[in-house]
Amino acid sequence: MLLTRLNFRPVAVLLMMSSLLLGCDNQAPAPKAAPGATVTAAEPAATHHAHKLTDKFASAETLALYNNLAGLRGKHMLFGHEDSLAYGVNWEGDLDRSDVRDVTGSNPALYGWELGGLELGHEKNLDGVNFKQMQEWIKAGYSRGGVITISWHMYSPVSGGNSWDKTPTVHDIIPGGSKHDTLKAYLDTFVAFNEGLAVTDAAGKKHYIPIIFRPWHEHNGDWFWWGKGNASEQDYIALWQFTVKYLRDEKGLHNLIYAYSPDRSRIDLAKFESDYFFAYPGDEYVDVIGLDNYWDVGHGSNTASADEQKAGLVASLKGIVKIAQVRNKIAALTETGNNRLTIPNFWTERILNPILAGEEAQQITYMMVWRNANSEREKSEQFFAPYTGQATAEDFKTFFAHPYVLFESELPKMYQ
Ligand code: BMA
């Protein structure tokens, strides 16, 4: 409507164009194209200037995604699920199925995928997901308008152990370290994976699927080799900054939105900000002010009452929303969930109602629950989204039906 009116007003159009140009952060030299890497869209999207990404050459689609997420603040939150299309609690091998869709009729709005094992040249990730198939699922989700986020439980380049192996590693893989080249080679496997995420739109333009990239997560916990106690704060920051600079500036990846995600269980709410900023890489290297919070939603080791936990969830979300607001970034509950969903009415009682109770917590842009492990193959019960017949399935439908919560079938266009 507005644009149509402006079309008949040349002066208004000129004014609009000049303010867009003035607003353009396009003074820096063109990005260095990586050898062999086909890089699209060096120019920032002309129509979106509300927010800046750490990558000033982010592709138009990537910037649009970020700004569209920002635009939903306070009105909607995307619901996400890890490995949603790959397997479910009672099924595996279907190429187009999801426990979330079995229950609600829609796929999640956000798909989480995990790279652990890619760096070793494995065909499948640490949870048995085939990487080629993962690329297909990523493309399928994107083509339906869904949003993609990727994490990486990387094996240690020093010990060869998995990410829970606490062998000190970080100091050796940052610039100047004896295993720095191994880190580069590991990151190169993601560059190659990303090459498989190029798509051509209806107009014949090639671009890369925007990805919310969430490396080195939960670093304030001590359970990963990049975590507190296993790496110094300074080395962690160097690792994060190198990762961004390498992928963005050296390899020319311009489809990444960088998400930082400490763990709530190691944050004291009384000093939220100082704890949250433990080893923070800096505003120039972070786009999403994230938080992994299993603690306040029924974590087995949390002895606080349900009401105290709800208050903790709200306070922690307020904390990230405030941090994001000051920095003109977006906040997100990057991981959450109640393993095996033993809490009655979990979705409304422990997630939706607390988030909607005040104005601040509801400014988060997305939440994601972790995976529904296939119980037969993994010989374990681990799931965070309900499956058909699961005790919280009905409550999940109520959650799904609430206008605040967006699933894939309800998403507005996120890439324009
Ligand atoms: C963990 C668990 C593990 C899994 C890992 C990586 O939290 O789900 O079973 O291997 O994430 O996805």
Nearest to 98 by CA among 343, 116, 340, 90: 90
Q: Which position has the token pair 């606080």?
A: 304
CA of 370 to the centre of ligand 1 (A): 8
Q: Provide the 3-class DSSP secondary structure of residue 24.
A: coil
Q: Is the pLDDT of residue 23 over 70?
A: no
Ligand 1 atom with minimal separation from the 153 CA: 6
Instruction: Indicate the pLDDT class of residue 383, thresholds 50, 70 and 90.
Output: very high
Residue 114 CB–ligand 1 contact under 6 Å: yes
The 10s digit of each residue's pLDDT in 35-73 is 333 333 333 343 434 578 999 999 999 999 999 999 999
pLDDT at 12: 36
pLDDT mean across residues, the chain: 90
Q: Rounded distance, CA 72 to CA 210, Å?
A: 18
Burial letters for 278-303: b for 16+ Cβ neighbours within 10 Å, e otherwise? ebbbeeebbbbbbbbbbbbbbbeebe
Q: Is the pLDDT of residue 5 over 80?
A: no
Ligand 1 atom with minimal separation from the 127 CA: 10
**β partners of residue 111:** 81, 148
Mean pLDDT of 198-221: 96
CA of 355 to the centre of ligand 1 (A): 26
Q: Rounded distance, CA 139 to CA 148, Å?
A: 9
What is the separation, in whole angstroms, between the first and last Cα of the chain?
Answer: 16
C-beta separation of 241 from 174 below 8 A = no
pLDDT at 201: 86
CA angle 406, 400, 299 (to 5 degrees): 100
pLDDT at 94: 98
Ligand 1 atom with minimal separation from the 126 CA: 10
Give the residue, out of 370, 375, 379, with the most ligand 1 atoms within 8 A of its beta carbon, to mutate for a pocket test: 370
Residue 126 CB–ligand 1 contact under 6 Å: yes
pLDDT at 51: 75
pLDDT at 50: 56
Torsion, Cα of 231, 235, 239, 245 (10° steps): 170
Give the residue, out of 153, 164, 265, 379, with the most ligand 1 atoms within 8 A of its beta carbon, to mutate for a pocket test: 153
HSE at residue 401, side-chain half, CA atoms within 13 A, is 7
| Higher-confidence position of 102 and 201 | 102
pLDDT at 336: 98
- CA quadruple 219, 225, 230, 231: dihedral sign: negative
User: Strand 211-214 vs strand 147-151: parallel, antiparallel, or unpaired?
Assistant: parallel
Quote the percentage of the chain above a pLDDT of 90. 87
Residue 164 CB coordination number (10 Å) = 11
The 10s digit of each residue's pLDDT in 266-321 is 999 999 999 999 999 999 999 999 999 999 999 999 999 999 999 999 999 999 99
- Residue bearing the CA closest to ligand 1, atom 4: 127
HSE at residue 365, side-chain half, CA atoms within 13 A, is 24
The 10s digit of each residue's pLDDT in 82-108 is 999 999 999 999 999 999 999 999 999
285 CB contacts (<8 Å, ≥6 apart)?
54, 240, 241, 244, 258
CA of 118 to the centre of ligand 1 (A): 15
pLDDT at 320: 98
Ligand 1 atom with minimal separation from the 114 CA: 12
Q: Rounded distance, CA 306 to CA 298, Å?
A: 8
Residue 235 CB–ligand 1 contact under 6 Å: no
Instruction: Indicate the pLDDT class of residue 251, thresholds 50, 70 and 90.
Output: very high
The 10s digit of each residue's pLDDT in 142-181 is 999 999 999 999 999 999 999 999 999 999 999 999 999 9
User: Strand 330-336 vs strand 288-293: parallel, antiparallel, or unpaired?
Assistant: parallel
CA of 359 to the centre of ligand 1 (A): 33
pLDDT at 274: 98
Instruction: Indicate the pLDDT class of residue 34, thresholds 50, 70 and 90.
Output: very low
* Tokens of residue 260, six digits: 């930082």
The 10s digit of each residue's pLDDT in 320-361 is 999 999 999 999 999 999 999 999 999 999 999 999 998 999
C-beta separation of 131 from 118 below 8 A = yes
Q: Provide the 3-class DSSP secondary structure of residue 192.
A: helix
pLDDT at 202: 85
> How far, in whole angstroms, is CA 144 from its chain's centroid?
18
* Eight-class DSSP state of 295: G
* Eight-class DSSP state of 196: T
Give the residue, out of 84, 125, 126, with the most ligand 1 atoms within 8 A of its beta carbon, to mutate for a pocket test: 126
Quote the percentage of the chain above a pLDDT of 70. 88
C-beta separation of 209 from 142 below 8 A = yes
Q: Rounded distance, CA 260 to CA 264, Å?
A: 13
Torsion, Cα of 22, 25, 28, 34 (10° steps): -140
Ligand 1 atom with minimal separation from the 83 CA: 12
